[in-house]
């Protein structure tokens, strides 16, 4: 005579809560993983693989430092007349206009007339705050934004939040490594994209919370005193 397990035993009752506990833990984790994967794919779909000229001119141009050829591309746009002035945001405090002129050939004339240097910004949020001050000071209503393609989604989130009344035109810089090999074949590129995606999601969440009154960036609010003028290659 075979013996069947008794579900009414203490062991049977104990197994049921453990089964539900696994479901409660595993299902949300699985859903979170799927949501993150879908979001990552959506993030990748925003990244441009080739550089394209802006569709039209703007009042000014801003380039966010940190990636190869960003400044040189921005100088080329300025030279082509796509904007009246250029703000280079995030310049190292020890660098000056001469350093940039040496790194960007044929830029000396533009540096002396039409380029402003912002040495205060240390991250994308402060880039946005300093760009807002510069644009308002100049009375600009439209800006071409120059930064790397992988950084552009987060940059637009921060800049559009800081300057909702200013039209932003993205100009995504595509690095040589991005052109030479697919990002999924490079561990370093994949880690960079994952890191940038996490920062992008964090920026989106913070901006959405700010929109409903939960502002976590009071440190970037406009000061009561007159705004600081960015360092400029020429006294204005």
Residues 6+ apart with CB under 8 A from 8: none
Whether 158 has a pLDDT exceeding 50, the answer reads: yes
**Confidence (pLDDT) at 14:** 52
**Confidence (pLDDT) at 224:** 37
CA 76 to chain centroid, in Å, comes to 22
Q: What SS3 class is residue 211?
A: helix
Going along the chain, which residue ranges are E strands? 60-64, 85-89, 115-118, 142-148, 167-173, 231-232
End-to-end CA gap in the chain: 100
Q: Which of 146, 130, 123, 119 is nearest to 58 (CA)?
A: 146
Contact between 61 and 78 (Cβ < 8 Å): yes
pLDDT mean over 36-49: 83
Contact between 146 and 173 (Cβ < 8 Å): yes
Whether 147 has a pLDDT exceeding 70, the answer reads: yes
**Confidence (pLDDT) at 198:** 94
pTM assigned to the model = 0.77
DSSP 126-145: HHHHHHHHHHHHHT--EEEE
Total residues belonging to the chain: 236
pLDDT category, 8, cuts 50, 70, 90?
low
Tell me the pLDDT tens digit for each residue of 172-222: 999 877 776 778 888 888 899 999 999 999 999 999 888 787 776 554 444
**Rounded to whole angstroms, how far apart are CA atoms 101 and 72?**
10
Q: Which of 88, 94, 176 is nearest to 127 (CA)?
A: 88
CA 160 to chain centroid, in Å, comes to 11
**Confidence (pLDDT) at 17:** 65
Residue 123: CA atoms inside 13 Å, Cβ hemisphere, count?
9
Higher pLDDT, 58 or 220: 58
pLDDT mean over 25-44: 78
Give CA separation, 204 vs 16, 112, 157, 164, in Å: 40, 37, 7, 15
pLDDT mean over 152-178: 93
**Confidence (pLDDT) at 6:** 52
Q: Which of 74, 96, 91 is nearest to 126 (CA)?
A: 91
């Amino acid at each position: 005579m075979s013996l069947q397990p008794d579900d009414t035993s203490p062991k049977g009752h104990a197994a049921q809560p453990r089964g539900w506990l696994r479901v409660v833990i595993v299902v949300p984790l699985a859903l979170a993983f799927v949501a993150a994967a879908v979001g990552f794919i959506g993030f990748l779909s925003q990244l441009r693989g080739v550089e394209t000229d802006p569709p039209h001119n703007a009042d000014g141009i801003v380039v966010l430092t940190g990636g190869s050829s960003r400044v040189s591309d921005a100088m080329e746009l300025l030279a082509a007349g796509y904007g009246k002035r250029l703000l280079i945001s995030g310049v190292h405090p020890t660098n000056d206009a001469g350093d940039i002129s040496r790194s960007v050939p044929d830029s000396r004339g533009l540096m002396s007339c039409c380029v402003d240097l912002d040495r205060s910004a240390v991250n994308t949020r402060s880039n946005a705050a300093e760009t807002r001050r510069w644009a308002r000071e100049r009375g600009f209503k439209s800006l071409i934004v120059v930064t790397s393609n992988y950084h552009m989604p987060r940059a637009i989130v921060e800049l559009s939040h800081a300057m909702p009344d200013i039209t932003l035109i993205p100009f995504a810089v595509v690095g040589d490594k991005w052109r030479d090999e697919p990002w999924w074949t490079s561990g370093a590129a994949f880690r960079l994209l994952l890191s940038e995606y996490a920062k992008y999601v964090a920026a989106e969440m913070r901006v959405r919370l700010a929109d409903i009154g939960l502002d976590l960036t009071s440190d970037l609010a406009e000061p009561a005193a007159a705004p600081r003028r960015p360092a400029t290659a020429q006294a204005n």
